[in-house]
Amino acid sequence: ELDKVFGPDRATGAASENFEEAVHGLQNETIELDKDEEEDEEEEGESVQSTRPTLKISKKTNKDPTPKGKGKRKASQSEVVDLTSSFNVVSSKLTGFMDNMNSHLSNIASALCTTQQHEQVLMNRKMKLDEQKVGLFNEVMCIPGIFQDDAMEAVKKLARDSSLLPIFYQCP
């Protein structure tokens, strides 16, 4: 049925497999977990050769005529030393970065604390001014010979400019 919809498989020319055939094919596959790399390379070469017979893959590599035993060990040891020294360098740089980070974080915390204290002072000032504004009309009305309209105008001017309130309250 899929052949009618999708057409034949381009690689093999056969009809596309349906879901049941695909599941059956997956169940029949075996996976070997104990393969060596050499076996993998051989299988890859064989699969390439089987799909494209005109292409031949050469497995020959340039091999050094020197024995591999001691040379590899020396290279491994030098690589381990290089990795260790690289790790030590990165570790020291990270430690320096973190020390600087602690300094920066303490500066930020100090600035936040100072800001909070400053805001608390401003809040206390505002609350004191608000308390003064609440009783301002009554205080102005206590002045002998002032009319209510004049008192309202005076209260409006004093309330607009809060710096005048302390001066008003210090007057006898």
* CA-to-CA separations, 97 to 84, 86, 88, 101, 106, in angstroms, rounded: 20, 16, 14, 6, 14
pLDDT at 39 over 80: no
Q: Which residue has the higher pLDDT, 163 or 80?
A: 163
**CB–CB of 27/20 below 8 Å?**
no
Question: What's the rounded Cα separation, in Å, for the pair 86 and 42?
Answer: 37
Instruction: Report percent pLDDT > 90 for the chain.
Output: 10
What are the tens digits of pLDDT across the range 143-158?
888 888 888 888 888 8
> Which pTM was predicted?
0.36
Question: What's the rounded Cα separation, in Å, for the pair 148 and 157?
Answer: 14
Question: What's the rounded Cα separation, in Å, for the pair 118 and 136?
Answer: 27
What are the tens digits of pLDDT across the range 101-121?
888 888 999 999 999 999 999
